[in-house]
Structure 1
Amino acid sequence: MSHTAHIPSHRKPRRSASKLAVRAGVAGGVLSTLAMAGTASASPTAEPLAETTLEMPVLNLDLGAEVSSAVTKAAENTRAAAVEGELTAQEESARTGAAAEAKKAKEDAQLKADAEKKAKEEADRKAEAERANRSTARATLATASGSNSTEGSTAKSSKNSVSAPATGSAAAIVNFARAQVGKAYVMGGTGPSSFDCSGLVQAAYRQAGITLPRMSQAQSTAGTSVSLNALQPGDILYWGSKGSAYHVAVYVGGGKFVGAQNSGTGIVERSLSYDKPTGAVRVL
């Protein structure tokens, strides 16, 4: 073999310095850790290891703004819902109030109509009574004048009017009318303690089973017209125009009638000369 021939070396190849340093650092760290653990176990009174505090990430400004916006929006929605609920309650209250007002207005209108109707009826009756009073006043004035010509004419008319005594239905009408003499005149009265003129005539005819209209205007057209010179007991006498008479009475025979004249005289029996009627009708 040549002295210069290459002989393979049996030594291990050298490790690089950097690798040795890493291994040495690792080994040192392990030994240091073991040493500290041993020290800690050997010295129970040693101070505890300091705790590590983790820091939470801080919200950035954009996220904070989004949260604030969401809260504001939720508050606005809540207020809007409250306002809407209040408006709904007000609308319901308004509808209820309107319905109540409409009902009350209807009731008031009905009451007003009833009152007007009653007032009209009362006015008609009052007008009838006033016309009767004027007629009575005129008759009284004529009687007080002492006119012989008038008295003579009336006596002749009364003589021609005399008829036979009442019988049957006529007697029932006459007897009832005479039985009411002395009772009070009350406007609208239909008995039994007081009457107005048409109320008396209607009640008298009811005794004969005959139903007459309530008002004097209608009673003056209830039967057949007859002459004042041919009257019979039970005929209806009227004052004023036929169909619009303002006063009525019952002819009882002998040139006399029974009528509810006015509040001053009440129900009286008078001769035709007391207040000569305009006309007469016969129902029987």
Structure 2
Amino acid sequence: MSRSIRLTAAGAAAAVLVALFGPSGVGAQDPVAPANSTTPVPILLYHHIAKAPKRSSSPTLYVPSALFKQQMAALARAGYEAVTMDTVWSAWTEGGELPDKPIVVSFDDGFTDQYTGALPVMKARGWPGVLNLIVKSPYAPKITTTQVNGMLKAGWELDAHTATHPDLSKITDPARLTREIVDARTALQTKYKVPVNFIAYPFGHVNQRVAQVVINDAGFTGGLTTVAGLATPGTDPARLPRVIVSPKTSGPALVAKLAKLNR
């Protein structure tokens, strides 16, 4: 099956109408669920696509570009095809299509090496990535606006990673939660003119209060954690699991890991 087209603004509006009136308007019969509507999807988590600097305090966050290329090649040989979160959600809830073995390749924070190291590899395969971007990142080297726009032009999806990357579960001030979640989504939507339907939680931490702000106040479709596992239509959308990819994971090992999770 071919990969679904990403949701557009018009598609998002149509989704609202479907939720209110059904797929064909008032009085429409319940549709037959498509065969792939229950497909579990691995959501990979990457940070840096580069060799870790000497004396790095977080070497596990670095996957060298050559290894990343090997991992993507191994996934392709195993039959996987990258899609966006919007495409996954469309297939789960609106009858959209997924490949036989869909996978989401997500990147947190927004580093320049995601543009220089990941984009060319993904682009060569015609695969989109998902960039979870901090609005005002405290980390370097920061990705530029021009680079983000280049990713969007290549078919990538832009999602949020809060305004300044705090541990949301430790914030008790409602106004600050609003700034970090609601305002962050608005800022990215305004700047890049894209939907920004998902948020990746810093450090993967989320509690009930944060989940309510994410879904009810900000209007996000869902949130990404760092809990290991495959995302499914039955998963709490505010707590979608991901698969962290380390610099010690070879391409074949990554494929084997996903196969084990899918048993």
TM-score range for the pair, normalised by the shorter chain length? under 0.3
For normalisation by structure 2, the TM-score amounts to: 0.22
Higher helix share: 1
Rg larger for: 1
